[in-house]
Structure 1
């Protein structure tokens, strides 16, 4: 049986690994959506904001519960030993007594200055603000994952270009080595080209390190183990970027209306305003309605029943013919019997109801201090709301300027690449024909290589700047 289980486990592991790889043996590429979902599910700050939101929800439920009346039931069963009071005769007895008490008490708040209603409004707004705080954390991790994702793709493209550049130089070295053996070129030409090949290979290593660093950053944002085998799916086409549409004021108007961070700041401020009203409500008199019912039982409960009656002489007398004649009086005979449990339950039933007005006169300045604290909180949240909107406006202005600069950089570098590519094609022909020296050829090659690398960086930089503006307007990011 153990061998069968081990064999099954091995087959399952092999099966799962086969699905985790594509037909070329590489790991299946991660999509941007998968990366974002993983990061959001594993992010610590998102978890904290969700726990805070759940706590706000519980506080809201507690506040709503204050509108309900209090209702408490009490059941007491006990036994008294030794000297105690008989609850029926109110006299001392010295015996074991079993007893029971039952009660149901309730109270309801009729008026408290609308403090409870405003507390419910305060905690309801807190709960909604907590939702926005949680969404803001999700948005924040989403935009960071997109930036990291694009950084990986940018470095991948740069690594591909670096390898292509090294391949071009390597072919030239191979060609020059043959010509050098035939004595057709000066040795310095070959060494210049070998030096350039070393430079290109070093660029490949540097770009590879940058790519792995970008993968590490992405893995840390996703809270997963880093692996150099991570492969990402392409998400943006190779079409030439166009200038971003939209004005700063329009972008800010959309952001201030839809962005979670702004909604959270507004809700926190509204909650603080309701908190002031809730605190001031405690300065008003409170009116309570109280009532209850109860009954009890005692094992000493008994009743005297008349059994018979007969005349018997007493200590009194009357004078008859100067003789004392005793006075007779009827003497009843009683039989004691226990009162049943059910009869005691009915006979001892009692109830009460009252209306209570509580007027706060002196409470150690606690209520006034709460009001002042609530007013400070309102001022603080109002300041935070205005600061959030101001910082958002400044961030959008900066992002818009960065986007325009990135687009200008991209278009300029694109023209530069076209010019250097034409220059390189001409230089390569002339170098192969022996018209250009190695130094001249390497200068032209260095220019076109650098321009191509800059074009990749400029293209992804512009995409990043555009995605940030999309984020401010709550547009789909992927």
Structure 2
């Protein structure tokens, strides 16, 4: 009985593990689920998050530098031969055991606002890190949307090629029968067999492209590869119409909302505070300090704890440190900070110029994709009617196989181009949405 119980338990566990391992492959993922998985698993996003956390720690440290420093020292020593008794400062020639306890504190009261400007500097850098993190998530989101749409594009293309194969197979089957009866020339049958092979090759290539596009999507999501994964189809209301923003409107919104732009703006402000912080080191530093101390010596006439109590001392004061000459380090730090500020300014200006160029190019690509989609839709209607007429004529023997093959090839190619144009336009609109900081689904 124990054996059967163990066997039954093993089968149950194995079945659960098997079901769990097959769950991702058999599940249907929506676009939002793919985006959520990618943001959670993508290594670029994780790296950006770690960098943001590093900047947060630097910001916290800058604030904590305003706190006083407190340090304690404890030492126990044994001295042989002639030495000075630390409790009464007399010289003795004997072995001495002595202990010293010190507690001291220091608080910076003023240092040219260097600490305050450092806090502002690292606060702005931390905010820039947040924007970098958001930018990383936005880029991954855009990449997932593009890859997801590419899979759907290939799925539609595969359906279209399957239909093309069925149509070609139907004609070949009809001509095989006619050829046996001698009712059609062999050359016509071979022409249609060649057309069938062309359609089959197209289906094979499209199936391979669909598999590659799925692998690409899963790699962005950083999940185990599975060719059997299924994606939810987009509903009609999710497919965009004509884009309602101009390139200038998109650029204006990008300057206000895009995380990339915000990050560079914040870095420029952070570099400005860095210059002010470096200048603060040229000013005198005023600090307050205090200390507590006591000690013990084996030469004393009282016990250990009595000596610690009797030898107790304390002190406090205010100090002024004036930087006069320290190898010109402070002035060189100011010069380097100014260079960092100028570099940040150039990077900020370059980002805006490049952003404008990218948006203009993306907008041209979007409008071209929309025009191409409308023209191809008309072309499919025209070639579809032409193919319908050619098939009727071919079946009745009114035209040759060459004319029929040309009509079919034109219609098949137009269908393929229309599917590609539709998804190409969809992707172009999402790129423009990204520049506006708006990738909500």
How far did residue 470 of structure 1 move?
A: 1.4
Distance 1:238 1:456 in 2: 17
How far did residue 196 of structure 1 move?
A: 0.7
How far did residue 73 of structure 1 move?
A: 1.9
Distance 1:187 1:181 in 2: 10
After TM superposition, the structure 1 = structure 2 runs for residues 245-324 of structure 1, keeping only pairs within 5 Å, are 245-302=244-301
How far did residue 181 of structure 1 move?
A: 1.1
Report if the CA contact (8 A) 2:259-2:437 is conserved.
no
C-alpha change, 1:201 and 1:238, in structure 2 (3 Å) is farther
Distance 1:87 1:403 in 2: 85
Aligned to 1:462: 425
After TM superposition, the structure 1 = structure 2 runs for residues 358-377 of structure 1, keeping only pairs within 5 Å, are 358-377=321-340
Distance 2:87 2:25 in 1: 92
Distance 2:142 2:88 in 1: 82
Aligned to 2:398: 435
Aligned to 2:226: 227
Aligned to 1:15: 16
Report if the CA contact (8 A) 2:239-2:426 is conserved.
no
Q: Is 1:387 matched with 2:336?
A: no
Report if the CA contact (8 A) 1:467-1:477 is conserved.
no
Distance 2:89 2:116 in 1: 49
The SS at the match of 2:236 is coil
Q: Can you give the 5+ residue segments of structure 1 that lack an aligned partner in the other structure?
A: 303-338
How far did residue 146 of structure 1 move?
A: 1.0
TM-score by length of 1: 0.87
Distance 1:457 1:384 in 2: 37
Distance 1:364 1:255 in 2: 46
Q: Can you give the 5+ residue segments of structure 2 that lack an aligned partner in the other structure?
A: none
Q: Please say which structure displays the higher CA radius of gyration.
A: 1
More helix by percentage: 2
Distance 1:441 1:403 in 2: 35
Q: Deviations over 1:6-43 (max 9, x none)?
A: 65354234235446768xx9722222222222222232
Aligned to 2:408: 445
Q: More deviation in 262-271 or 38-47?
A: 38-47
Aligned to 1:420: 383
Cα RMSD (Å): 2.2
The SS at the match of 2:29 is coil
C-alpha change, 1:366 and 1:10, in structure 2 (3 Å) is farther
Report if the CA contact (8 A) 1:20-1:27 is conserved.
no
C-alpha change, 1:191 and 1:87, in structure 2 (3 Å) is closer
How far did residue 105 of structure 1 move?
A: 0.9
More strand by percentage: 1
Report if the CA contact (8 A) 1:78-1:98 is conserved.
yes
Q: Deviations over 1:437-467 (max 9, x none)?
A: 2111111111111111111001001101111
Q: Is 1:345 matched with 2:343?
A: no
